[in-house]
Amino acid sequence: MTALLWLLLSAAAWADNKEDFLAAREALQKGNLTEVAARAEALSRDPLGIYPRYWLLSRQIEQLAPEQILPFLNFYQGSWLADKLRNEWLLVLGKRGDWERFREQYRLLVDEPGTEQLCYHLQSRLAAGDKDKEVLAHARAVLWFTHKDLPALACGPLIEKLLATGIVSEDDLWARLRLAFENGAQGLARSLAPRLGQELPAKALDTAINNPATWLKKPTGSGRMRQELAILAIARLGRSNVDAAHEQLLAWQDRLGADAEPYAWRRLATVAAFRHDPRAEEWYRKSSKQAWTDYSAEWRIRLALRLSDWETVLSTLKLLSDEKQKERPWQYWKARALEATGAPAGEPNRIYALLSVDDDYYGLLARDRLGPTVGPASAIYKVTDEDWRRIEANAGLKRALLLNAMNLRTEAVREWNWALRGADDRLLLAAAEAAREAAWYDRAIYAAERTKALHNYELRYMAPYRELTREYAGQVGLDEAWVYGLMRQESRFVSSARSGVGAGGLMQLMPATARWVAGKVGLRYEPAMVNDAGVNVRLGTYYLKHVLDNLSSQPVLATAGYNAGPNRARDWQMADKPLEAALYIESIPYLETRDYVKKVMTNAVHYAMTFGHPRQSLTARIGTIPPRNPVAVEGP
């Protein structure tokens, strides 16, 4: 029995229960817990019966005794809702100071604890008699160095102990103030100032952040706080005018302390590197006495890549934290830098071989560097009857499929993702097949792309809506594999998908873009049209072709332009010479766009193979970025 057949049979038997479930959900929204309880009883043997029981407990958790909560947690241990309820109960236990029961329940958490739960956990360790110094040293390491406000009730007592015992030093206070400044966390910055014996008027801070040129003309404050505000204002000014920021730093540098001056140059260098300004390397050298963060080291590497300064790439890679150095991007660029600086071939090839095991962006690039030594991809795994039986026996997947059939997407996705935590390849592929049969394409891809040894690329790179996509891509002369690579990244084939900024449909068109393109193709624009698969693909492929034609027919530029805007993609080109596309991609300033381009172009390689197109390496597909066209791109 396939999962879809199971779902259809279950749906027929579940018609009455569905009514009870929806009635319980409506009663919850109205605050009618008596009705929720009645419906919970009716659903006691149903896969979704866990929901009304959870709703009842969650709404009353502060008033309930342990014996009213524990049966649910024990019976449903390991489920998403049990872990969610346990997290909620931990907050109640922490507020009460019921440390013995807190420790007992904390050990049973499946998911990573939130900040509040972690703070209460550390408080519980102190209450249990653990060595204060060790607990507080751990608290400093995991809690202090952040620009985010910490929950006062859960974390406040720990923070006060850290300050009272001197485990958080004055230097630590200034370090956190700098994090607050760097991230625009004005409330945190103002709360830290009195602990440093400093004044930090809200107006002065707001001006330094939002109108830095004004603050620099008439600086306020005194002592070190004045210096820190000056560095903040110079860095903020550099976001819009690097030249003006540089002039201001030259004017201020003699007034900055021995620690503050190199820090100021580091801030300006990183702002400039983000903007691809080659002067940033000189300014990085002026900041050699300043400790390196991963963020600033990464931007120095990206600038050095654009400048083909491979010696600086190698030396700066060593400044990254151990965890960062192990990440795939920096392993790949380490190998490239070793090649470029004349290291024996065995050194970079060992790195390429390790990277090439996976089929992601860096795996494909590494295979291209190794050449024909890499063998063919593994055979496609086919789901067996035994695999289907595991799907049928998995309560979380059952709930997810039923919730999805009812269009309760939020709960369905959370159940699905939770049920596949730690799943082996066979269960992942069976789940992917079940989701595909239910036309739940994004969760099918979610499952299929997590396999480690057994793979099915038809599931990982599925191609729904192919007839209409092939038609509209063909009409404007676009590579079908590339269009699918982009569509997969945009929406995972959820035709009703909508982003946080208002983009909608399979190709995630912004309203202004959809309106502009509709006018070009002779359609009367209606906001709802972006959720029609055919119209969305027609408009999306037309716009993608427009961007491609205006960005030198270079697909990497067009991909970046589709995501971030064509004129931004154009601005990131070199002004007077070509650039290897992999270097262009790695130095895209925005993380979202950088990751997007990597995935779209990787997807395109796999779709081309799935469609039986002539084989093309990723390196050949991304090609070379030409010098910047001085003419801006028209359109939305």
d(CA 560, CA 541): 15
In whole angstroms, how far apart are CA 412 and each of 111, 417, 428, 495, 499? 18, 9, 16, 17, 18
Rg (alpha carbons) of the chain, rounded to whole number: 28
What is the share, in percent, of the chain residues with pLDDT greater than 70? 96
Contact 225, 192 (CB under 8 A): no
CB-based contacts of 466, cutoff 8 Å, min separation 6: none
| pLDDT tens digits for range 272-311 | 999 999 999 999 999 988 999 999 999 999 999 999 999 9
**Residue 374: pLDDT band with limits 50, 70, 90:** very low
Could you give the CA distance from residue 249 to residue 216 in angstroms, rounded to a whole number?
A: 10
The whole-angstrom separation of Cα 163 and Cα 173 is 9
Tell me the percentage of the chain whose pLDDT exceeds 90: 90
Distance CA 585, CA 66 (A): 54
Q: Is the pLDDT of residue 12 over 90?
A: no
Tokens 């004349």 locate to 342
Banded model confidence at residue 87, pLDDT cuts 50, 70, 90: very high
Domain positions in the chain: 220-291, 466-625
- At residue 6, does pLDDT exceed 60? no
Give the model confidence (pLDDT) of 222-278 as tens digits.
999 999 999 999 999 999 999 999 999 999 999 998 889 999 999 999 999 999 999
pLDDT at 231 (0 to 100)? 98
pLDDT at 130 > cutoff 70: yes
Q: What is the pLDDT of residue 375?
A: 46
Catalytic center residues: 490
Would you state the pLDDT for residue 376?
45
- The pTM of the full predicted model, rounded to 2 decimals, is 0.94
Is the predicted pLDDT of residue 377 greater than 60, yes or no?
Answer: no
Q: Which of 633, 606, 604, 632 is nearest to 473 (CA)?
A: 604
Buried b (16+ CB within 10 A) or exposed e, 542-565: bbbbbbbebbeebbbbbbbbbbbb
In the predicted model, is pLDDT for residue 13 greater than 60?
no
* Mean pLDDT, residues 203-213: 97
Specify whether the CB–CB gap between 329 and 586 falls below 8 A.
Answer: yes
Q: What is the pLDDT of residue 17?
A: 79
147, pLDDT greater than 50: yes
Three-state SS across 118-143? HHHHHHHHHHCCCCHHHHHHHHHHHH
Give alpha helix (H) positions in 438-580.
Answer: 441-448, 457-460, 466-476, 480-491, 511-521, 533-550, 555-564, 566-571
Report the 10 Å Cβ neighbour count for 31.
Answer: 9
426: buried, middle or exposed (CB in 10 Å: 19+, 13-18, 0-12)? middle
Helices (H) and strands (E) in the chain, counts: 39, 2
Average pLDDT of the chain to the nearest whole number: 94
pLDDT at 616 over 80: yes
HSE, side-chain direction, 13 A CA sphere, residue 34: 0
* Per-residue pLDDT at 67: 97
The top-level CATH class assigned to 466-625 is mainly alpha
Res 502: pLDDT = 79
The residues with which 455 forms a beta bridge, in sequence order, are 380
